[in-house]
């Protein structure tokens, strides 16, 4: 929990091309995460009326993955994580906010928040198999990763900050045959 899956340039799955996924669970039953860099043009106010009061930076809905796209998720940074019942920490003050809460009850407690439709999921052993095939980088997440103002640059930013051979892949062309 709290690590990033970063798609390698030649992953080969269009659902996850250049995606950055914040892992929320990975155990014998499977794995679950949210794609951080797939914004839509749908406003949070239109998709989740009332919740726009805590949406920050980019008040649009993001696609968390191809599974159950009708499900809603909220990643939030809270100054005092213990102050909000139903807040599930992922990395420090970054965690999942429960939609059973009333938006007005947490307005002053939220530092930043981003909303997602759907999630990325793997059945038992499926992600382990993909990791054994070296399809993903597993990297440390930072609490601000979900709130990159330009989701399209997050993949490049994450790879660039690695400071090793991985950093060079940040500029790998989308279609190497065009070089």
pLDDT tens-digit series, residues 52-96? 988 887 799 999 999 998 899 999 999 888 888 889 999 988 999
Which pLDDT score is estimated for 66? 92
- Specify whether domain 3-178 bears CATH 3.40.1740.10: yes
Which pLDDT score is estimated for 174? 62
Segment 152-176 shows an average pLDDT of: 79
Which pLDDT score is estimated for 80? 85
| Element at 132 (helix H, strand E) | helix 126-132
Task: Report yes or no: 150 and 15 within 8 Å, Cβ to Cβ.
Answer: no
**Strand partners for 120:** 33
172 pLDDT band, cuts 50/70/90, is: low
Above 90 in pLDDT, residue 131?
yes
Which two three-digit tokens encode residue 35? 């794609």
Report how far residue 133's alpha carbon sits from residue 142's, in angstroms, rounded to the nearest whole number. 25
Segment 8-25 shows an average pLDDT of: 86
Q: Which residue has the tokens 């269009």?
A: 14
Q: How crowded is the C-beta side of 21, counted as CA atoms within 13 Å?
A: 31
Sequence spans of domains, the chain: 3-178
Above 80 in pLDDT, residue 145?
yes
**pTM, two decimal places:** 0.90
């Amino acid at each position: 929990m709290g690590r990033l899956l970063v798609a390698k340039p030649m992953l080969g799955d269009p659902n996850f091309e250049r995606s950055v996924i914040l892992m929320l669970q990975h155990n014998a039953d499977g794995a679950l995460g949210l794609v951080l860099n797939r914004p839509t043009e749908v406003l949070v106010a239109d998709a989740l009326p009332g919740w726009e009061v805590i949406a920050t930076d980019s008040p649009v809905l993001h696609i968390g993955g191809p599974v159950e796209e009708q499900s809603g998720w909220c990643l939030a940074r809270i100054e005092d994580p213990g102050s909000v019942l139903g807040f599930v920490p992922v990395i420090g003050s970054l965690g999942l906010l429960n939609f059973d809460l009333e938006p007005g009850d947490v307005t002053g407690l939220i530092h930043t928040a981003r909303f997602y439709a759907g999630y990325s999921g793997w059945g038992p052993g499926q992600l382990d198999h993909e990791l054994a095939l070296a399809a993903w980088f597993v990297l440390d997440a930072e609490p601000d990763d979900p709130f990159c103002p330009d989701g399209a640059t997050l993949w490049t930013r994450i790879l660039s900050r690695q400071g090793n051979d991985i950093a060079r892949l940040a500029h790998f062309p989308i279609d190497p045959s065009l070089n």
